[in-house]
Amino acid sequence: MKSSVVSSKNLIRLQSAISRSFLQHSSKPISQTPFFIPIFPTNTINLYNQRYQNLQIQIRSNSSSIMSSSAFKPEQAGLPPALPLPSPLLTKFKIGICQLAVTPDKERNIQHARKAIEEAAQKGAQLVVLPEIWNSPYSNDSFPVYAEDIDAGHDASPSTAMLSEVSSRLKITVVGGSIPERCGDKLYNTCCVFGTDGNLKAKHRKIHLFDIDIPGKITFMESKTLTAGETPTIVDTDVGRIGVGICYDIRFQELAMIYASRGAHLLCYPGAFNMTTGPLHWELLQRARAVDNQFGEVLATTEHDEDIIIAEIDYSILEQRRANLPLAKQRRGDLYQLVDIRRVGAH
């Protein structure tokens, strides 16, 4: 059974539409790129801790397996979810992805993002996603200048004040891309999620900083100015349970796995990929995270320039897809598990 596909150009279709993923990419440095991948819960890893900080894969030797090979039954390896899966208020809705060009004028960037959100909502989007660092040029020199005190709000954070106002006025959920955040003497790359009431529901600080040195091509060290976040972020909204990552976070599959284990309906990765490592990887990484959690299908994509694309998410297919490919029953929990280091260390 194949699912319908919506596309602007360069439609890509995966061979098996077990689940759906919504992928969008850019190949122009000026355009910041949000990435979005809906997944369905795997229900096989019994971890749920909002203070979760560190991830690792623990491989057990055969000699220390829970069950011997001869006694192993795949269905016994699946662990029950720590929390019951939530029932979202909306099971079928439209999502809007805004690909934006950024200027040195912060106020102009804010008003430009506002108009993009309003346009997406006018087209029926009930969830709108902005790109990474949409209010500032992407540079270590710019981060301290454009950073805002999100916790102080209002005048101290005009970018998030706009997101709060527009989400409340339009009654939509907004995954607000990311902006440079100032907290004390530290700077973070931070994504804010606002609910339909305009309240800040979650704040994700980029966990994996982009530090890379490719001789003759690109050198960029986010850690020169930014501090890494310490907590994976999952939040319940009107459009389902959302796991949030930012750009480079998408390269680490453990984060997606822990979100799946916590019952995420979808994952959002606002991104701003560079033109050296980006073109070969941005689409592949999104497809990989979808495949990690049981395949996906491209619903819509865009070209290099600014754009707003709309697609429909339908959660009703999730149970069917899970039944078609029952990884929850087949995962070898006797041999490997995703381990919450902080949680284990507390016992």
Q: What one-character-per-residue DSSP string does 193-260 give?
A: EE-TTS-EEEEEE-SS--EEEETTTEEEEGGGT-------EEEEETTEEEEE--GGGGG-HHHHHHHH
Q: How far apart are CA 89 and CA 346, in angstroms?
A: 35
Closest C-alpha among 259, 311, 316 to residue 290: 259
Q: Which residues of 160-182 are buried (b: 16+ CB within 10 A; e: fewer)?
A: bbbbbebbbebebbbbbbbbbbb
Phi-psi region of 323 (alpha: psi -120 to 50; beta: other; left: phi over 0): alpha
254 carries an active-site annotation: no
Q: Angle of helix 106-122 relative to helix 158-170, nearest 10 degrees?
A: 20
Residue in 94, 98, 106, 132 annotated catalytic: 132
Q: How far apart are CA 215 and CA 24, in angstroms?
A: 29
Single-letter amino acid, residue 27: S
**3-state secondary structure (DSSP) of residue 301:** coil
Residue in 222, 247, 268, 283 annotated catalytic: 247
Residue in 206, 268, 283, 297 annotated catalytic: 206
203 carries an active-site annotation: no
247 carries an active-site annotation: yes
What distance, in Å, lies between the first and last C-alpha atoms of the chain? 46
Single-letter amino acid, residue 209: L
Q: How far apart are CA 256 and CA 289, in angstroms?
A: 7
Q: How far apart are CA 180 and CA 171, in angstroms?
A: 26
In sequence order, what are the beta bridge partners of 32? 100
Which are the catalytic amino acids?
A: 132, 206, 247
